[in-house]
Structure 1
Amino acid sequence: MSDQAVLRLAPTDAAGSAPPPPAPAVPADGFEGLPPEADGRRVWAALGRAHRLAAAYRGGDPASGVDPDTLGRLMTDVDARFGIGSTLSVCIQIATAVPLLTLGGEPAARVLHDALAGRAVVALAASDEGSGADLAGLGTTVAVDDDGVTVTGTKRWITSALYADHLLVLARHRESRHFTSFTWVLVPADAPGVTVEPAETPLFDGSGTGHIRLDRVQLPREHIVGRVGRGMTSFAAHIAVERLTGTLWGVALCARMLRRTKERLQGRAYGDGTLWQLEGIQQRFAAALLRTHELAALVDRLGRRAARHDTAAAALLKAGAARTVNSVLAECAQLHGAEGFAAGGAQWTRAQAALWSIGGGTTEIVLTAVAGSADALLAELPS
């Protein structure tokens, strides 16, 4: 059929002219054309184009908090398609870095707009050289005066550092370890005095994890995010949402690995049947499935509280996720047998799952927080 014939057959509007062609449909998950090995920056950009980043927050506003249901679907979709490193980059930005930008400051407002559109990546630079989980021991400093700020220090194991446009840096503005001694500064990644090098690990390819050196980086005072002295307080509140997001992701990862493991067991011949038909194998699998359902039930009960910055609820979720993800993925890796040691196999994923016991606060620190809220948490249980 000729082009002219096609045109003659096209429907017309009341005026007799052909209507404009429909706009291209946005794929449901936003990932059309992205390969599984896409890094976190490309995944973030795709989510922004599909308007899925703003949709994760109530009313599309990060200042209003996340919507756990929408956020859970987003993390499930990203985990299903991309590697743990790329998913980690999305997790930290959407849970912590982006909401912190709402605290104020003109540069922060501009970057927030670009980040939600997927045009900008923001690396959360909290942990310091030598400080680890002891954020009060940060060595990175910010000198604040009427003319501007000067940031000096080293940040290690920072997700998205290698491809970030901006660094949200937690720094000390006075010597005291008091929680009022810390301030957020938004540092352009290309500012003079900023250098970034890759972290020494292949475990989280796609995450852009690196080490950042800040050598007397000078910026206008407007690059302070929020009020001077409120950095630690705001971080403590927003880490609750990061712990919720990590738990939602943990449920999705466990479910994905269990499905993959069951398929393998059903396809692996053993005697006259398959490995799946062995009662002992079924019991081990069922125990891992039970733990995953327990974690999902914990999210259902506590997720909305954590989304409202309830630190006790978030600590319970984080501790539960660390134990569940590690145990379920260890069981899956064992059930995969020797094939689990193949490149990208279940044993590799098991090694990456150690992240849940360290990132966002080690399990020991989080359990201490749970103990600190013991009276309130006990009161919630039947007596």
Structure 2
Amino acid sequence: MAGFALDPEQEQWCERLRALAAERLGPLAGKGEPGRVNRPLLAALGEHGLLERIFSAGALELCLLRESLAYGCTEAETALALQGLGAHPVLRAGSAAQRERWLPGVRAGRTVAAFALSEPGAGSDAAALALAAEPDGGGAGGRGKGAHGGGAGGGWRLTGEKRWISNAPEADFYTVFARTGEGPGAKGVSAFLVPADRPGLTGEPLDMLSPHAIGSLTFDGVPVGPKDLLGEPGRGFRVAMETLNLFRPSVGAFAVGMARAALDATVAHTAHRSAFGGVLGDLQAVAHRVAEMATRTEAARLLVYAAAGAYDADSASPDVPGRAAMAKLLATETAQYVVDHAVQLHGAVALQRGHLLEHLYREVRAPRIYEGASEVQRTIIARSLYGRAAGVAR
């Protein structure tokens, strides 16, 4: 990726993805029910090998995939990203048995995954989560025939609530982060793979400004055992942060895809819409605004690629969290700016139900909040800068 320019093969791949999203995935998305998991769309993503790619791709390839799908079909992009977010902890921290049991279905689009981190009182401050994992001396599977994965080492009972969980309550399994208490704050959090049919686990949908399912989960003494752990006890927060460090730049890529779609629509509209004896694009105020939209979009795109490149070069580098935060921050804020101005330059037509920009206007707001709100990204960036300065001073 010399000079952050894509090579011809990458460009062609992205073009094919944009065409696939618009021509094949878009119609399936259109048939989906708002607020529900679109299983036919997931199956199509699996059929075309795109879900497989999110498990084998590096950060840059994941960004190109999400950006290209977002340009042509935001619903397809979101469905793919949520599968990756929910299942990536299983890939990276799960046991061989967990991977063999769950990942083939995720890759095929048959099994729906979800990432269950946020709580009513712990959204952006993920380390403040309160879902309790109380020791259960009998083990989650020690009662009866061990169907829940417990063992001789004992297990836990999960009690509490998760909220604003994408794909809930329709997911087939959840990556759940709970407080096991090995230490204070983030040091006492463990990650678990919890099947949706586990006793005591219930959920309900939330009516959100979103085309995909988002819901709350209630844990009423849900049994989990050592075989349900993702990684080691007390190391779950690291599992969560490793996942978010990978996916945050690609959230930026999702935003860039939306911004590019809005920008292209605006250029086409202002180049042909008659106004004041010419076309809108002849007006300096309009042309300068479009130029600003294009410049910001390109800057965001390059920062996303740079953050992805840094992750691929060394995912353990202390610079990665700050770069990922910069990419998500700039790209999501830029997309909001670009889509908003695109609506303004189109006028009333852009607010009609079914118009591309009406759709993007609803879609573009949420990425500034999820996987760490913009304010949280600024905090991560500042900590990275001051941490580096303190290291230099010593």
TM tier, shorter chain?
0.7 to 0.9
1:93 alignment counterpart: 83
Q: CA deviation at 1:71?
A: 1.9
Aligned residues: 342
2:175 matches 1:168 = yes
Q: CA deviation at 1:348?
A: 5.0
2-structure distance, mates of 1:241, 1:126 = 16
2:246 alignment counterpart: 241
Q: CA deviation at 1:210?
A: 0.9
Deviation per CA, 1:227-263: give whole Å up to 9, x if none: 1111001211221111111111111111111111222
Identity among equivalent positions (%) equals 26
8 Å Cα contact 1:267-1:274 kept in structure 2: yes
2-structure distance, mates of 1:373, 1:204 = 32
TM-score, with structure 2 as normaliser: 0.79
Q: CA deviation at 1:180?
A: 1.7
8 Å Cα contact 2:114-2:174 kept in structure 1: yes
Q: SS of 2:181's equivalent?
A: coil
Decide which moves more: 188-197 or 151-160: 188-197
Q: SS of 1:130's equivalent?
A: coil
2:344 alignment counterpart: 334
2-structure distance, mates of 1:350, 1:285 = 17
Match of 2:58 among 51, 63, 67: 67
2-structure distance, mates of 1:343, 1:134 = 36
Matches within 5 A, 1:56-205: 56-57=54-55, 60=56, 66-84=57-75, 87-94=77-84, 96-102=85-91, 103-105=93-95, 106-144=97-135, 145=137, 146-174=153-181, 177-201=184-208, 203-205=209-211
1:270 alignment counterpart: 275
TM-score, with structure 1 as normaliser: 0.81
2-structure distance, mates of 1:87, 1:56 = 11
Q: CA deviation at 1:175?
A: 8.1
Q: SS of 2:364's equivalent?
A: helix
8 Å Cα contact 2:28-2:40 kept in structure 1: no
2-structure distance, mates of 1:137, 1:351 = 29
Q: Which amino acid aligns with 2:283?
A: L
8 Å Cα contact 2:29-2:38 kept in structure 1: no
Q: SS of 1:78's equivalent?
A: helix
Match of 2:300 among 269, 275, 295: 295
Q: CA deviation at 1:347?
A: 4.7
2:46 matches 1:48 = yes
8 Å Cα contact 2:256-2:332 kept in structure 1: no
2-structure distance, mates of 1:111, 1:132 = 27
Q: CA deviation at 1:300?
A: 2.9
8 Å Cα contact 2:191-2:236 kept in structure 1: yes
- Structure with bigger helix share is 2
Q: SS of 1:56's equivalent?
A: helix
Aligned-CA RMSD value: 2.6
1:7 alignment counterpart: none
2:28 alignment counterpart: 35
2-structure distance, mates of 1:223, 1:176 = 20
Decide which moves more: 171-180 or 360-369: 171-180
- Going from structure 1 to structure 2, the CA distance change for 1:375 and 1:141 (only over 3 Å counts) comes to closer
1-structure distance, mates of 2:24, 2:78 = 20
8 Å Cα contact 2:39-2:110 kept in structure 1: no
2:334 alignment counterpart: 324
Q: SS of 1:36's equivalent?
A: helix
2:150 alignment counterpart: none
- Going from structure 1 to structure 2, the CA distance change for 1:43 and 1:74 (only over 3 Å counts) comes to farther
Q: SS of 1:142's equivalent?
A: strand
Unmatched runs of 5 consecutive residues or more in structure 1: 1-26, 61-65
Q: CA deviation at 1:168?
A: 0.9
Q: CA deviation at 1:378?
A: 8.5
Q: SS of 2:110's equivalent?
A: coil
